[in-house]
């Protein structure tokens, strides 16, 4: 199973600013914050759905605050955002993280995709659960690979 971000929605201006800056930095690094829609277009997915995950704003703000501390000195950030704006965002995220009564929420849309490959490509009535031993045939010389125990387990 693959699970990646499809979308993130919030009415909080502080969280929105953070997400906009993060998205711009990731795009500059040729990465994507919202990779879920791309993954959904790949062939051979057996199951593909978006699962909403709601998080209170103060919890998301705490995570974003800790992340901001790691990337605030990134060259892209220094070159494209005034340090006063990043300082203000850091302050606002820290303040929001300490406010469990904040009404804003943030909702991640998590793209969940299941691929069945190899031994799993059987008709549905013949599928084998991934943890079932029959899903993984034993190597031909398994007995040779396992040391024999002596009389005292040595």
Residue 12 has pLDDT above 60, yes or no: yes
- The Cα 80–Cα 82 span in angstroms is 7
What is the model's pLDDT at position 130?
44
Closest C-alpha to 36, from 74, 8, 69: 8
Q: How many separate domains does the chain show?
A: 1
On whether residue 6 sits in a domain, the answer given is yes
Contacts of 71 (CB under 8 A, 6+ apart): 22, 25, 77
On whether residue 61 sits in a domain, the answer given is yes
On whether residue 153 sits in a domain, the answer given is no
pLDDT in tens, 106-134: 999 999 988 776 544 544 444 444 444 44
On whether residue 37 sits in a domain, the answer given is yes
What is the model's pLDDT at position 148?
35
On whether residue 58 sits in a domain, the answer given is yes
Lookup: tokens for 11: 């009415």
What is the model's pLDDT at position 152?
40
On whether residue 147 sits in a domain, the answer given is no
On whether residue 145 sits in a domain, the answer given is no
What is the model's pLDDT at position 118?
57
The model carries a pTM of 0.72
Domain that holds residue 83: 2-121
Lookup: tokens for 118: 């190899």
Q: Is 70 helix (H, G, I), strand (E, B) or coil?
A: helix
On whether residue 151 sits in a domain, the answer given is no
- The Cα 135–Cα 137 span in angstroms is 6
pLDDT in tens, 27-77: 999 999 999 888 888 777 778 899 999 999 999 999 999 999 999 999 999
């Amino acid at each position: 199973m693959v699970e990646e971000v499809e979308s993130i929605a919030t009415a909080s201006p502080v969280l929105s600013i953070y997400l906009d800056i993060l998205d711009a930095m990731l795009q500059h690094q040729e990465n994507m914050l919202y990779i879920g829609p791309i993954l959904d277009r790949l062939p051979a997915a057996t199951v593909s759905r978006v699962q909403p995950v709601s998080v209170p704003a103060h919890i998301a703000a705490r995570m974003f605050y800790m992340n901001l501390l790691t990337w605030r000195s990134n060259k892209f950030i220094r070159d494209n955002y005034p340090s006063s704006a990043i300082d203000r965002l850091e302050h606002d995220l820290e303040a929001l993280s300490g406010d469990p009564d904040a009404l804003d929420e943030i909702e991640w849309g998590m793209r969940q995709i299941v691929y069945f490959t190899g031994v799993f490509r059987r008709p549905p009535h013949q599928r084998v659960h991934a943890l079932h031993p029959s899903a993984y045939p034993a190597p031909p010389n398994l007995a040779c690979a396992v040391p024999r125990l002596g009389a005292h387990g040595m």
